[in-house]
Structure 1
Amino acid sequence: MPKFDVQTNSNNSSKRLGIFSSDYCKHIGDTCNNMENGPYGVDVPSFPRKIQVASLNNEPPKDKWQALRIILAIQGLATSLPWNMFINAQPYFQDYKLMINPNSTDMERHYQSSFMNYITICSMIPSVLFAAINVFITNSSVVSPMRMIVAKLVMLALLAVTIALAAIDTRDHVVTFFIVTMVIIVFINGAAAIFQNSLVGICSILPSKFITTLFFGTNIAGVLTSISSIISIAISSNAKIFALFYFSSAIFIVMIALITNKIFQRLPLYLYYKNQVLNKFHQTDEQSSRPQFWKIFKKIWMTCFNLWLTLTITVFNFPNVVSHVKRMSIPINDIYWIPVFCFLNFNIFILLGTVLVFWTVWPGPKRMWIVVLIRTLIFGPFFILGNYLPDERVMPKYLANDYVYIVAIMVLALTGTYLVNACFVSMISLLEENELAVGGMILNLFVFLAVLSGGLVSFITRPLVQCC
């Protein structure tokens, strides 16, 4: 780790000055003032004396009560709420708000049958766009947390509009409801992309266990929204009450994330690593230049490719394909089949895949592409060969078994999230300290590119099984 300027003095010099002498204290104060007045000092709050002492000893402060990890998990939880909320509410949208009746037009029928595909596209195009903008407007080695605050305020406002729409009868305005919902999805996911992209950039300057904790929180969101969806179905058959309860819980979580946003910026451990990175940047000749995006990308391009291909296959299958696989023999009410054995099952094993990365990261960056390619060849065609769209398909069914489907969902989720987290951990080992924030944001941009490409490819599955 780089040290503060005062550490460049020899041991003898330190002894001559004396750690508590007025000259020594004045020297430390001048150093801190110079940092604050420099080109990147605006984003560096004054840090407490504990941080100065810890830095002088080159020992990071302790994460007291695991406060930083808990707050990062909460922030991660809030980043993926928009995506998880809308895809887990599939029955509310398709079977209630976009319900087909004998008088429905062809356009309304199309919107109803292709709703999940439209959610994916309207989520990921703005996510890619806003994440890319967020990367390239970054002009420092440390990301400003203020972007996250603005993004969360936008998310809160749009979730409030979604709740208002749930309370309004839109049966005579199906197309209008569909368009307004897609506009909400576009902007709420754009805000979430800025939020998540900035958060990953911030976490990338910390040790790898913190970015893994962030994704642990992100994946908890999937489990909680799945459970929330199942509870909502169980306690009320009224779709309006379901939506009000469901989306209100999202507002509650985003508000907690907004409150805790300012807290982690003041935690000693975060300030320690933030100032270490800024010190490293000040010691180079790059003080007046923007981050070297191409130089950073060349170091991690293979990791970006592995992450992109892994997530593309995951999103190609989930939720667009797997949510249309019908139950065959398992004794359960059809209303619970997809919420339990698709969404909840998938999200639980997503979470377990994140936990595995806390213990081991295998394979390394040089061999990871082999595992990624094998997974792609297996899961590319797997689910469309099962009981996918049984009433519409012409293609023969080779893997039409409920238990095979359930196990395959587990493996898809477990391997997908494990490899994605392994990519982020590998990225940290490939870059210099002052490159980590931008590197993390670039890698996170490929997350959104992968979800977009997976969603686009999933459009071919319905016509494929209908004509082959």
Structure 2
Amino acid sequence: METKGSPRSYSPHKNGCLMDRNSEQTESFLPVKVEPGLDSLNKNPEDFTCMPEEDNTPPDRFRLVFFIMVIHGVGILMPWNMLINAKTYFEEYKLGKNETEVVELKGKFMFYLGIFSQVPNFVMSGINTFCQCGGQASPRRIIISISVMICVFIATVVLAMVDSSDWSVEFFWITMMTAVILNMATGVYQNSTFGLAAILPMKYTNAIVLGTNLSGVFIAVVNIISIISAPDPRTQAIYYFVSAIAVLLIAFDAYFLLPLTKFYQHFRAAIRRQQNTSGPSRTFSETCSLFGQVLKKIWVQALCVWFVFFVTLTIFPGIWSNVSKKDFPIEDKYWVAVFCFLSFNVFAFLGNIVSEWVKVPGPRFIWIPVLLRGLLIPFFLFCRFEVENKERTFPILIDNDYIYIVGGIVLAFTSGYYSSLTMMYGPKLVEPEVAGIAGMIMAFCLVMGITTGVNFSLAVASMATK
């Protein structure tokens, strides 16, 4: 059988898909390229062919691909978790001078950090989703992103060793600029990785989400160990940043391991077989039409993942980390470390794990509990939320430490659980060949939720204090 514009012969595959025998034989001897970008999914939705039968799928031996995705999840949120867990280092050590301008910056450090981190993340995630630069650029995105993150963390370690007491304001803005660079790289890394996982079964998307919360648990534990063992905040911070470099180096190596696994090769080859039967490249208008068709099918899940992270980041870490204890039997220096950062990350991680076995509600009704989570915002504002050198404008209605702790557990667990469900549901509501597009759109909405959440957090804090 001869196709137009090609001298090669094709024969029907047993599952009904057309495959190029010559190219398949050749491909088996070539290295596998990792292409998480949208340019690797160049096909109209109405032209879909069937995917290979599930019976032919090789096993994920030792769950290696699953753990690679977990490692990438850890690496994705490593910069954010490192910066927010170093709260004491930044606020008490580097910004400890009793000067009016420094005190003002210190009081809003976490809010500024959120904005300078997540807005660049959002912008780069959008660019990576909607602006593609050719198929050969795709394999380099994750590698370049991780490399940039490692270099910035090395610079951050150097800054920790330098005495900046005479230029605290300048140090503040240098820190904000490093946050911008780190999170620009994170935006590309995160978005590309979700696109990479979307062609696999949905639990591999959840593996990334699980890894992001495991990252938080890891850093929160390092934080507590540092408080106990390190003599000063500077040494604690150096421990954080060196740990981040080590984790990112592991993620760097894991990237090259993925295309060597037969499990990943199987799903990558299925997409390539469908590409062999596709027509010419889409025009810009056709690409926009494809995005519209995908979004039409997943818009509920996209809105849900946005709202999950909007609520979570409105509260955590800006508001949550500024809730003081009343009479809970724990030293002040451990209060935020244990009942903010560790508590959030542990229970969000547990929420991710539970979603592996329990998937309630389904895609149709998940918006109901997601919307109800919005009630957690006023809950935390009515706790003992305080900003240094500011007075509350809201009354304290929840003055019990135990009720506050339970509320924090609910916020964290539902954040992990519903973020996992929505991120898994989205790509599986579309045809397999555009699952990568759906995954990247979902990741874009995730980052948009984080960005709008941290900005709204500053607005809420301003309303609650004067």
Please say if 1:458 is aligned against 2:457: yes
Aligned twin of 2:43: none
Q: Distance in 1 between matches of 2:107 and 2:13?
A: 70
Q: Distance in 2 between matches of 1:75 and 1:353?
A: 19
Please say if 1:86 is aligned against 2:83: yes
Residues 322, 383 of structure 1: 8 Å contact kept:
yes
Q: Distance in 2 between matches of 1:42 and 1:323?
A: 39
Which of 175, 178, 191 is residue 184 of structure 1 equivalent to? Answer: 178
Once the two structures are superposed, the pairs formed by residues 74-223 of structure 1 within 5 Å of their partners are: 74-101=71-98, 104=99, 106-138=100-132, 144-223=138-217
Aligned twin of 2:424: 425
Residues 204, 436 of structure 1: 8 Å contact kept:
yes
Letter in 1 for 2:89: Y
Greater mean alpha carbon deviation, residues 365-374 or residues 346-355: 365-374
Aligned twin of 2:5: none
Q: Distance in 2 between matches of 1:134 and 1:190?
A: 11
Aligned twin of 2:397: 398
Q: Distance in 1 between matches of 2:460 and 2:205?
A: 34
Question: 1:361-389 deviations in whole A, cap 9, x for unaligned?
Answer: 2212221111112121x212010101111
State which structure, 1 or 2, has the greater radius of gyration over its C-alpha atoms.
Answer: 1
> Cα 1:220–1:302, aligned 2, differ >3 Å: closer, same or farther?
same
Residues 220, 351 of structure 1: 8 Å contact kept:
yes
- Secondary structure (helix, strand or coil) at the match of 1:80 reads helix
Question: 1:210-245 deviations in whole A, cap 9, x for unaligned?
Answer: 111121112110000000011111102312211111
Residues 142, 192 of structure 2: 8 Å contact kept:
yes
> Cα 1:411–1:85, aligned 2, differ >3 Å: closer, same or farther?
same
Aligned twin of 1:299: 297
Once the two structures are superposed, the pairs formed by residues 297-376 of structure 1 within 5 Å of their partners are: 297-376=295-374
Q: Distance in 2 between matches of 1:382 and 1:30?
A: 60
Question: 1:404-433 deviations in whole A, cap 9, x for unaligned?
Answer: 111111100111121111111111221111
Aligned twin of 1:29: 22
Q: Distance in 1 between matches of 2:324 and 2:54?
A: 61
Question: 1:313-344 deviations in whole A, cap 9, x for unaligned?
Answer: 11000001010000111111100000001110
Residues 141, 277 of structure 1: 8 Å contact kept:
no
Question: 1:234-274 deviations in whole A, cap 9, x for unaligned?
Answer: 10231221111111011001011111210111211111101
Q: Distance in 2 between matches of 1:449 and 1:340?
A: 28
Residues 141, 281 of structure 1: 8 Å contact kept:
no
Q: Distance in 2 between matches of 1:380 and 1:127?
A: 23
Letter in 2 for 1:154: V
Q: Distance in 1 between matches of 2:307 and 2:122?
A: 16
Q: Distance in 1 between matches of 2:189 and 2:28?
A: 27
What number of residue pairs does the alignment pair up?
434
> Cα 1:41–1:454, aligned 2, differ >3 Å: closer, same or farther?
closer
Q: Distance in 2 between matches of 1:369 and 1:79?
A: 26
Residues 141, 437 of structure 1: 8 Å contact kept:
no
Letter in 1 for 2:428: S
Q: Distance in 2 between matches of 1:315 and 1:396?
A: 22
Residues 141, 438 of structure 1: 8 Å contact kept:
no
Question: 1:160-198 deviations in whole A, cap 9, x for unaligned?
Answer: 000000000001101110111111000101101111110
Letter in 1 for 2:175: T
What is the TM-score normalised by the length of structure 1? 0.87
- How far did 1:275 drift? 1.3
Aligned twin of 1:18: none
Identity of aligned residues (%): 31
Residues 219, 351 of structure 1: 8 Å contact kept:
yes
Residues 35, 135 of structure 2: 8 Å contact kept:
no
Aligned twin of 1:280: 274
Q: Distance in 2 between matches of 1:140 and 1:370?
A: 40
Please say if 1:8 is aligned against 2:5: no
Q: Distance in 2 between matches of 1:80 and 1:64?
A: 26
Q: Distance in 1 between matches of 2:52 and 2:165?
A: 63
Letter in 2 for 1:355: I
Q: Distance in 2 between matches of 1:142 and 1:357?
A: 35
Please say if 1:383 is aligned against 2:376: no
Aligned twin of 1:15: none
Letter in 2 for 1:8: P
What is the TM-score normalised by the length of structure 2? 0.87
Which of 206, 228, 231 is residue 222 of structure 2 equivalent to? Answer: 228
Question: 1:263-322 deviations in whole A, cap 9, x for unaligned?
Answer: 111211111101112223433446555742222122211111111111101100000101
Residues 326, 400 of structure 2: 8 Å contact kept:
yes
- Secondary structure (helix, strand or coil) at the match of 2:165 reads coil
- Secondary structure (helix, strand or coil) at the match of 2:462 reads helix
Which of 244, 265, 273 is residue 238 of structure 2 equivalent to? Answer: 244
Letter in 2 for 1:81: M
Residues 202, 428 of structure 2: 8 Å contact kept:
no
Once the two structures are superposed, the pairs formed by residues 250-261 of structure 1 within 5 Å of their partners are: 250-261=244-255
Q: Distance in 2 between matches of 1:424 and 1:142?
A: 27
Letter in 2 for 1:256: I
